[in-house]
């Protein structure tokens, strides 16, 4: 193990990036100045010694977005699960991947109810111009939601109530 000096960062970053074929080690996108180039390393606490369990060591080169994303995963894993080691973190992530790959149930969660579209004012006005019925034409609903009376008229005149 050797201690990297600040002035050596660009050269090492470029060497590792070349080994990675110019691509981010996580997302695989080509890395350049516009994507940001990060020499990623595992952070350590000041009181910790570098090396054991990867603490303080360089891992690779990432684009800025993946570096931020990876840091959030790392920090939140520590905050909410308190893993004992990097290996435990890896096992947790494998479990999460397996959970995602398992798939979903064919049930929509109650908070994910589809939003009912609002009645198009343009189509409402078109319907109103074409209407020649004997009853009073229904008012545009204050909520924008389709009423039974309006739905019947839209169907009768073969006009979509929505854009």
Rg, Å, the chain Cα set: 29
**Contact assessment for residue 16 and residue 60, using Cβ atoms and an 8 Å cutoff:** yes
In a domain, 114, yes or no: no
Residue in 42, 65, 64, 73 with CA at minimum distance from that of residue 55: 42
**Tens-digit pLDDT profile for the chain (163 aa)?**
899 999 999 999 999 999 999 999 999 999 998 999 999 999 888 898 898 888 899 999 999 999 999 999 999 999 999 998 999 999 999 999 999 999 999 998 998 988 889 999 999 999 999 998 888 999 999 999 999 999 999 999 999 999 8
What predicted TM-score, i.e. pTM, was given to this entire model?
A: 0.66
Residues 63 and 140 in one domain: no
Residues spanned by the domain of 125: 121-156
Does 115 map to a domain? no
Residue 161 within any structural domain of the chain: no
CA dist 96 and 79 (Å) reads: 16
């Amino acid at each position: 193990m050797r201690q990297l000096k600040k002035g050596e960062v660009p050269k090492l970053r470029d060497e590792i990036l070349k080994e990675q074929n110019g691509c981010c080690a996580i997302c695989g996108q080509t890395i350049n100045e516009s994507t940001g180039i990060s020499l990623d390393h595992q952070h350590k606490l000041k009181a910790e010694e570098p090396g054991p369990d990867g603490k303080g060591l360089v891992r690779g080169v990432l684009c800025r977005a993946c570096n931020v994303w990876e840091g959030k995963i790392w920090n939140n894993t520590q905050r909410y699960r308190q893993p004992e080691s990097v290996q435990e973190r890896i096992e947790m992530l494998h479990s999460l991947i397996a959970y995602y790959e398992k798939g979903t149930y064919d049930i929509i969660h109650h908070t994910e109810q589809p939003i009912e579209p609002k009645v198009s004012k343009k189509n409402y006005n078109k319907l109103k111009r074409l209407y020649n019925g004997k009853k009073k034409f229904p008012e545009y609903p204050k909520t924008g939601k389709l009423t039974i009376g309006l739905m019947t008229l839209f169907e009768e005149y073969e006009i979509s109530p929505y854009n």
